[in-house]
Amino acid sequence: MNDYQALYRRSLADPAGFWGDAATALHWDKPWDTVLDLDAKPVPRWFAGGELNTCYNAVDRHVEMGRGNQAALIYDSPVTGQKQTYTYAELRDAVARFAGTLRAQGVGRGDRVLIYLPMIPEAAIAMLASARLGAVHSVVFGGFAANELATRINDAKPKVIVSASCGIEPNRVVVYKPLLDEAIAGATHKPEACIIKARPQAEAALMEGRDLDWDSAMAEAQPAACVAVKATDPLYILYTSGTTGQPKGVVRDNGGHAVALHWTMKNIYNVEAGDVYWAASDVGWVVGHSYIVYAPLLAGCTTILYEGKPVGTPDPGAFWRVISEHRVKVLFTAPTAFRAIKKEDPEGEYLQKYDLSGMQTLFLAGERCDPDTLFWAREKLGMPVVDHWWQTETGWAIAANPMGIQPMEIKPGSPTVAMPGYDVRILSDQGDELADGQMGNIVIKLPLPPACLPTLWGNDQRFIDSYLSKYPGYYLTGDAGYRDADGYLWIMSRTDDVINVAGHRLSTGAIEEVLAGHQDVAECAVMGVADDMKGQLPLGLVVLKAGASRDERELQSELVQRVRDQIGPVAAFKLVATVKRLPKTRSGKILRGTMVKIADSEEYKMPATIDDPSILDEIAEALRTLGYAKG
Ligand code: COA
Ligand code: AMP
């Protein structure tokens, strides 16, 4: 059907028919009893009673259908100079063997496997091996510090942790093993075993009785077969930032996830089995889970696992090199990557060196796509540039331009229209539905489509409180925006303390908790201020305790280091200043929104409830010392 409107209407009027049809593309060990179980709590569940194995569908199925010799995964690592291709048959063998390695450590259905790995093939292999056994993986991004890793270990309680000796950033080797050891030492839960991939760039000391070497363990392992699990069983937990220091463990189930992700490949991205698909992200983020590992493999595509950056590895032509060398048809990345390329190569000179004729579309997501970036990419690449909007919680696009159904007019700044299954509404703070063009809270009327989170790991109540309570019957996205008269969605900002730094989701509340823990800090406020390259940067203002007198520079570097040590370098926290007081309402609420406007030199209204307006001049002064509030 080449009619988006008709398809979308059907998905809402007959969700069971729509997704039931989509599910027939996969292999089921046992058919579902009901496509959509509306009685399930806390939210309706997809494919209840059905059984399948996600790894079987992503890997073995293609070998059995004759794609064994096709490239499944291409590892391309400019930071090490390595390239390696796994065919579907080779990937199946490696995954089966690593599943055997995990099983030998006692991992079975429902057990958790925590994966703390850089962008090497072993990351995808470990994820798929966990899925093969019906275990639940939880991947932790390498840019997080030991403390964040410990929080996730305590929450997920993994039986086994899979890690490596190091990751490689362009400016340094990041040794992982000491971080892992520190995290385990600090965690209350202890894994039974750790399996460590040794890389030549750093050695890892193995702890007798607990740690195993990946290569030796693999050499001894017996391949393990796929274990059928319930469609509603969890496939993975992925932690994401909420409003506090305690991250939210987003749960993804097996059945709905496989069905929805498989559906997106043809209908949104317009790729088919055999096409080369590249998501330039990291397996530590949802984009990496969905579009480096699961969706391209479920669809029988070739996926690229790229260990490098858009610039500096070695130059701003890095993406073009990969696209031409591997005949990439679709690239998916964050706008910030294009801003980085544009900054170093504004005229697009590096593009002239490569043949991009095999590429069809560029997809962007992860943060708001500013029209300038979209125009630049479109002009230089000479192809459609599609912005699409989604979240860790949904696992796939809420709004997109359905390139495989009916490509629609692109309106720069809008991620286009709601995707099938997402009944998107815009509500006022009071819960009234708003007219076209009016800005409000973006919500999704329940039920959510397949692949969206059914709960938070071990915490139904937090799931209900965070997403379902504010507007009963609706899922709260946490984003604000509007719908225009043509039905296009415009996603403008967050309504909570989440900020987006270089496409990475961070909690200002978590950074505030770290700053507040410093011995000299009485109170603080962290906010996201505009940055030309990263979209937003966290900026902190701290008030010192009475009697504390500190050298500003020295205190700044202590606070910056504290965030780096406790959250990680990925927080990119470098802007902090002391102030005498913070602006508050009479009821004591810190006026972060007003401070952001001052920092970004935007017009603002003096809040009627402000306690003492003269504080804002002091704030502007402090912001100017950090290079903000200039206008
Ligand atoms: N392991 C350890 N450290 C990491 C890391 C990892 N996997 N990833 C990032 N870091 C570190 C970086 O080395 C940097 O440290 P530094 O402060 O010592 O320089 C810090 O975390 C911030 O990293 P990053 O935000 O990536 O900034 P950058 O300046 O190194 O690079 C971009 C900027 C735009 C090139 C980069 O952010 C990028 O490629 N973004 C693409 C967006 C993306 O992948 N988004 C994911 C969702 S689609
Ligand atoms: P994450 O869970 O890390 O994927 O971050 C999700 C959040 O990033 C969303 O709730 C939005 O605030 C923002 N986001 C992602 N994609 C877009 C987009 N295309 N346009 C605007 N905001 C986006």
The CATH number of whichever domain residue 17 belongs to comes to 3.40.50.12780
Q: Say if 320 falls within a structural domain.
A: no
**Ligand 1 centroid to residue 170 C-alpha, Å:** 10
Q: Would you say the CB of residue 365 lies under 6 angstroms from ligand 2?
A: yes
Tell me the C-alpha to C-alpha distance, in Å, between residue 151 and each of 182, 205, 410. 12, 23, 42
Cα 23 from chain centroid (whole Å): 25
**Ligand 1 centroid to residue 504 C-alpha, Å:** 9
Question: Are 393 and 536 in a shared domain?
Answer: no
Q: Using CA positions, which residue lies closest to atom 47 of ligand 1?
A: 503
Q: Would you say the CB of residue 310 lies under 6 angstroms from ligand 1?
A: yes
Question: Are 422 and 561 in a shared domain?
Answer: no
Q: Using CA positions, which residue lies closest to atom 5 of ligand 1?
A: 143
Q: Say if 570 falls within a structural domain.
A: yes
Q: Count structural domains, the chain.
A: 2
Question: Are 532 and 428 in a shared domain?
Answer: no
Question: Are 34 and 103 in a shared domain?
Answer: yes
Q: Would you say the CB of residue 284 lies under 6 angstroms from ligand 2?
A: no
Question: Are 166 and 278 in a shared domain?
Answer: yes
482: its two tokens: 């509007």
Range of the domain at 568: 498-625
Buried b or exposed e, range 284-293, using 16+ CB within 10 angstroms? bbbbbbbbbb
Cα gap 301→273, rounded to integer Å:
5
Q: Which residues of the chain have pLDDT under 50?
A: none
Say which residues have a Cβ less than 8 Å from residue 624's Cβ, sequence separation at least 6. 630
Q: Say if 292 falls within a structural domain.
A: yes
Cα gap 565→425, rounded to integer Å:
40
Question: Ligand 2 pocket: which of 268, 389, 396 to mutate (most atoms <8 Å of CB)?
Answer: 389
Q: Would you say the CB of residue 392 lies under 6 angstroms from ligand 2?
A: yes
Question: Are 502 and 463 in a shared domain?
Answer: no
Q: Point out the ligand nearest to the CA of residue 494.
A: 2
Atom number in ligand 2 closest to CA 500: 8
User: Whole-model pTM?
Assistant: 0.96
Question: Are 451 and 502 in a shared domain?
Answer: no
Q: Would you say the CB of residue 453 lies under 6 angstroms from ligand 2?
A: no
Q: Say if 351 falls within a structural domain.
A: no
Q: Point out the ligand nearest to the CA of residue 287.
A: 1
Q: Would you say the CB of residue 467 lies under 6 angstroms from ligand 2?
A: no
Question: Are 264 and 409 in a shared domain?
Answer: yes
Question: Are 428 and 564 in a shared domain?
Answer: no
Question: Are 457 and 590 in a shared domain?
Answer: no
Buried b or exposed e, range 461-489, using 16+ CB within 10 angstroms? ebbeebbbebbeebbbbbbbbbbeeeebb
Q: Point out the ligand nearest to the CA of residue 336.
A: 1
We report the CATH number of the domain holding residue 600 as: 3.30.300.30
Question: Are 15 and 119 in a shared domain?
Answer: yes
pLDDT digits (tens, 9 = 90+) for 607-621: 888 888 889 999 999
**Ligand 1 centroid to residue 382 C-alpha, Å:** 27
Q: Would you say the CB of residue 289 lies under 6 angstroms from ligand 1?
A: no
Q: Say if 477 falls within a structural domain.
A: no
Atom number in ligand 2 closest to CA 481: 21
Q: Say if 360 falls within a structural domain.
A: no
Cα 376 from chain centroid (whole Å): 25
Q: Would you say the CB of residue 168 lies under 6 angstroms from ligand 1?
A: no
What is the pLDDT, as a whole number, of residue 613? 85
What is the pLDDT, as a whole number, of residue 1? 54
Contacts 24+ apart (CB under 8 A), 28-34: 28/52, 29/53, 29/228, 30/228, 32/231, 32/255
pLDDT digits (tens, 9 = 90+) for 165-223: 999 999 999 999 999 999 999 999 999 999 999 999 999 999 999 999 999 999 999 99
Q: Using CA positions, which residue lies closest to atom 13 of ligand 2?
A: 367
Q: Say if 288 falls within a structural domain.
A: yes
pLDDT digits (tens, 9 = 90+) for 48-75: 999 999 999 999 999 999 999 999 999 9
Q: Say if 317 falls within a structural domain.
A: no
Question: Are 404 and 459 in a shared domain?
Answer: yes
